């Protein structure tokens, strides 16, 4: 009886470990959570009755350990090395030339490219297939024993191979059977917190009103060095392995690529974006695709590692200090840097929101010099305890504007100064207000010049009324010269007014950039066409469709899609200004908050006055419902646009296609009906051609639409 139960116990351990592997390593579970829990509970029950049976590879032993007083030191069986950096393809080629000079076998070498994960190096020991010890890198010779903490990471197999049969996925069996599992196997990997899990962790902390973490790397490092493994267990740590540091009593592969395959077959998590190439140039080309594509990775990577595949050759090449010559870290441009916070300025937005802006000591981030960054809002400064003079961590990634992540508290000298948010608007001097349930502070003075400036900027912008030629500089002059007190005033500007502000613009530009040689006054200059052009552009804007006017006046919460729906549903501003919250909520995507914000906007006297002026100026478009989507000539067709078109702007072409019933999407697929091609197209053209998607130009598009 007991024997039978013991067999069942062994079976359950293997099963739970296997399903754990399917879930945490392969990210492909084959049973439901409920079934998993059932197996685990059965296992726990047996262990409760037979505590003497429990072994270290039992899945129940992951978070059982008690807090430690300190970490013991562990000497690594071989040095845990570092990597030399390459900043770009030229550096990588120079590395190749250097190693080629040392050993001509490099000429025929293959290269493995792996992500350089921004985490923490860990060293895992397996004896007879059981996970027995794990350490931090430490100084490369001696690390700290963090076995109990590492056990809590479910991606780390407690026993390898996880199961011989199940890991033998097509042909991979050979990866194990060609070799012999060493009695002592020491594997190195990188422990980290995936970006999504990090964001979720911070969101939870924020909701609980607790302090959030700076970045995934610091959090992973802190989590692994907790004395209480229960704390480590509560953090979403995972890992990827990439190296066999040491092996004894067995046979392991001697090529990096096969090591990765072998480790994978044993049940370890291995980066799935790793590739092997026959020459350096292909390896560089692949590496560079990840420079642009790094956001597709689920973890932070600060580069890719290029490794000579033949590990015997790599070892023969030797080291420079702690850096092996056989591999190089191809670094991506940094996206996070530290710099000094020199001061905090406050900007006033279109809706009166005050936004604190960090004035920074100039610093390069990813090839761009950054001098300022957003600090989000005043609560953020307070929560993060950001002080003037602090060293701050600043991030600039992709399209988002640079932002401050937080202070480097350890770098404080004591001279840093606390910041006090303003009690008055920096633009108009009136007292600022705070609304219940919102973090933002507002300047509620409707006549605040800073707000007016942002309002006009928004109104004339490409996404709204698209008035060409009215740039930020001109708008500023218009507002400063009191020629406009709201956006409707734009339509009563005369050519003479525009000539005056144009003159002022020219004067300011000259002042900024004085001409090197004195301007000859005798030669006749061609008459300046700008005032007339501006006048015409403003007149043209009166014909803009309703949705653009709705976007232009700036109603809190109403973006492009909603403006389109409002315009199609209500048809004109007379109707829209009298609708009820209930009417609005019949529109898909309009919730009570937005509905209230719309009704509120139309009920404000200043906005009523603005609408009256717009109507008088003839800016009162109506949406005839004739252009209903299904009836247009382009209905049922999907379009992708690439490059610059001769007459239509980005938004313009979208509007054109949609007004004729067509649909515009971002990327080309087999289902795309047409690619509309302009000048300087991107990679979409290649894709369209390879998929056999028809390519047309603007003229052909217009013909299709029956224009």
Contacts 24+ apart (CB under 8 A), 283-292: 283/111, 283/113, 284/89, 284/92, 284/93, 284/330, 286/113, 287/92, 287/113, 287/330, 288/89, 290/115, 290/332, 291/332, 291/333
Rounded least distance, CB 188 to ligand IVH, Å: 7
For ligand IVH, which stretch binds (CB under 6 A), given 109-117, 177-185, 380-388, 434-442? 109-117
Give which of 163, 160, 188 is closest to 83, Cα–Cα: 188
Number of residue whose CB is nearest ligand IVH: 121
Binding mask 217-256 for ligand IVH (x = CB under 6 A): -------------------------xx-------------
Rounded least distance, CB 292 to ligand IVH, Å: 19
Task: Report angle CA 135, 139, 141 to the nearest 5 degrees.
Answer: 70
Among residue numbers 185 through 214, which ones bind ligand IVH (CB under 6 A)? Answer: 190
Among residue numbers 298 through 337, which ones bind ligand IVH (CB under 6 A)? Answer: 305, 324, 327, 329
Q: In what order do the strands lie in the sheet with 301-308?
A: 85-86, 327-331, 301-308, 111-117, 275-277
Among residue numbers 117 through 146, which ones bind ligand IVH (CB under 6 A)? Answer: 117, 121
Write the burial class of residue 549 (CB in 10 Å: 0-12 exposed, 13-18 middle, 19+ buried).
buried
Rounded least distance, CB 172 to ligand IVH, Å: 20
| Cβ proximity to ligand IVH, 291 vs 673, nearer residue | 291
Rounded least distance, CB 550 to ligand IVH, Å: 50
Strands 354-365 and 368-374: antiparallel
Q: Give Rg (Cα) of the chain.
A: 32
Other CB atoms within 10 A of residue 561 CB: 11
For ligand IVH, which stretch binds (CB under 6 A), given 30-38, 111-119, 389-397, 567-575? 111-119
| Cβ proximity to ligand IVH, 121 vs 223, nearer residue | 121
The residue within the footprint of ligand IVH, chosen from 116, 151, 154, 684 (CB under 6 A), is 116
Strand stretches in 51-183, DSSP E = 73-75, 85-86, 111-117, 120-127, 130-136, 142-144
The residue within the footprint of ligand IVH, chosen from 114, 300, 310, 486 (CB under 6 A), is 114
Give which of 133, 156, 157, 159 is closest to 146, Cα–Cα: 133
Structure tokens belonging to residue 524: 């006749």
Rounded least distance, CB 28 to ligand IVH, Å: 23
Rounded least distance, CB 305 to ligand IVH, Å: 4
654 in catalytic set: no
Structure tokens belonging to residue 75: 């000497």
| Cβ proximity to ligand IVH, 305 vs 353, nearer residue | 305
For ligand IVH, which stretch binds (CB under 6 A), given 102-110, 114-122, 347-355, 409-417? 114-122
Give which of 190, 309, 168 is closest to 242, Cα–Cα: 190
Among residue numbers 75 through 104, which ones bind ligand IVH (CB under 6 A)? Answer: 81-83
Determine if 634 is a binding residue for ligand IVH (CB under 6 A): no
| Cβ proximity to ligand IVH, 121 vs 377, nearer residue | 121
Rounded least distance, CB 170 to ligand IVH, Å: 25
Q: Quote the longest CA-to-CA distance of the chain.
A: 114
Measured CA to CA in angstroms, residue 207 lies from 193, 197, 204, 242, 384 at distances of: 20, 15, 5, 37, 15
Q: Point out the catalytic residue in the list 116, 159, 307, 395.
A: 116
Query: Residue numbers of the site for ligand IVH (CB under 6 A)?
Result: 81-83, 114, 116-117, 121, 190, 242-243, 305, 324, 327, 329
- List active site positions: 116
């Amino acid at each position: 009886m007991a024997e039978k139960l013991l067999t069942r116990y062994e079976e359950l351990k293997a099963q739970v470990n296997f399903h754990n592997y399917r879930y945490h390593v392969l990210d492909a579970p084959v049973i439901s959570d409920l079934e998993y829990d059932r197996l685990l509970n059965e296992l726990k029950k047996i262990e409760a009755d037979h505590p003497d049976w429990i072994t270290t590879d039992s899945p129940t032993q992951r978070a059982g350990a008690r807090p430690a007083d300190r970490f013991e030191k562990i000497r690594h069986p071989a040095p845990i090395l570092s990597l030399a950096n390459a900043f770009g393809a030229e550096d990588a080629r120079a590395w190749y030339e250097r190693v080629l000079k040392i050993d001509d076998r490099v000429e025929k070498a293959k290269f493995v490219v792996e992500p350089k994960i921004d985490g923490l190096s860990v060293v895992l020991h397996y004896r007879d297939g059981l996970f027995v010890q794990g350490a931090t890198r430490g100084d490369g010779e001696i690390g700290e024993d963090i076995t109990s903490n590492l056990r809590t990471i479910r991606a780390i197999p407690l026993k390898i191979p996880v199961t011989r049969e199940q890991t033998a996925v097509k042909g991979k069996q050979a990866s194990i059977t060609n070799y012999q599992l060493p009695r002592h196997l020491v594997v190195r990997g990188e422990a980290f917190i995936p970006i999504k899990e990090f964001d979720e962790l911070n969101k939870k902390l924020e909701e609980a009103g607790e302090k959030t973490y700076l970045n995934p790397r610091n959090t992973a490092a802190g989590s692994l060095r907790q004395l209480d493994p229960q704390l480590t267990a509560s953090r979403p740590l995972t890992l990827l392995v990439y190296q066999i540091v040491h092996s004894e009593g067995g046979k392991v592969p001697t090529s990096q690529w096969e090591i990765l395959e072998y480790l994978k077959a044993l049940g370890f998590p291995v980066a799935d974006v790793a590739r092997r190439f026959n020459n350096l140039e292909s390896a560089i080309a692949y590496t560079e695709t990840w420079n642009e594509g790094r956001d597709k990775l689920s973890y932070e990577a600060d580069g890719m590692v290029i490794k000579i595949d033949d590990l015997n050759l790599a070892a023969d090449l030797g080291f420079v200090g702690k850096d092996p010559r056989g591999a190089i870290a191809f670094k991506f441009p940094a996206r996070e840097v530290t710099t000094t916070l020199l001061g905090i300025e406050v900007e006033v937005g279109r809706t009166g929101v005050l936004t604190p802006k960090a004035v920074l000591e100039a610093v390069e981030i990813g090839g761009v010099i950054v001098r300022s960054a957003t600090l989000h809002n005043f609560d953020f400064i307070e929560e993060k305890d950001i002080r003037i003079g602090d060293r701050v961590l600043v991030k600039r990634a992709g399209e988002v504007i640079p932002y401050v992540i937080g202070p480097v508290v350890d770098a404080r000298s004591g001279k840093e100064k606390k910041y006090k948010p303003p009690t008055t608007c920096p633009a108009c001097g009136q007292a600022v207000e705070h609304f219940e349930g919102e973090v933002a502070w507002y300047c509620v003075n409707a006549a605040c010049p800073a707000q007016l400036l942002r309002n006009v900027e928004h109104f004339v912008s490409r996404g709204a009324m698209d008035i060409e030629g009215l740039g930020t500089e001109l708008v500023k002059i218009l507002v400063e010269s009191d020629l406009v007190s709201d956006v409707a005033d734009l339509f009563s500007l005369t050519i003479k007014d525009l000539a005056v502000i144009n003159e002022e613009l020219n004067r300011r530009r000259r002042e900024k950039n004085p001409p090197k040689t004195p301007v000859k006054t005798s030669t006749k200059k061609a008459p300046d066409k700008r005032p007339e052009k501006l006048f015409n552009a403003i007149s043209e804007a009166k014909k803009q469709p309703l949705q653009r006017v709705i976007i232009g006046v700036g109603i809190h919460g109403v973006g492009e899609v909603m403006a389109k729906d409002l315009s199609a549903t209500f048809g004109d501003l007379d109707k829209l200004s009298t609708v009820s919250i209930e009417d609005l909520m019949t529109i898909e995507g309009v919730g009570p908050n937005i509905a209230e914000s719309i009704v509120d906007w139309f009920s404000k006297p200043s906005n009523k006055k603005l609408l009256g002026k717009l109507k008088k100026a003839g800016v009162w478009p109506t949406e005839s419902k004739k252009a209903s989507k299904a009836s247009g000539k382009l209905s049922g067709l999907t379009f992708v646009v690439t490059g610059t078109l001769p007459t239509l702007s980005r938004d313009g072409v979208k509007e054109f296609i949609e007004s004729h019933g067509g649909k515009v999407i971002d990327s080309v697929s087999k289902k795309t009906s047409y690619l509309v091609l302009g000048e300087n197209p991107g990679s979409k053209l290649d894709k369209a051609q390879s998929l056999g998607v028809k390519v047309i130009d603007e003229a052909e598009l217009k013909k299709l639409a029956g224009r």
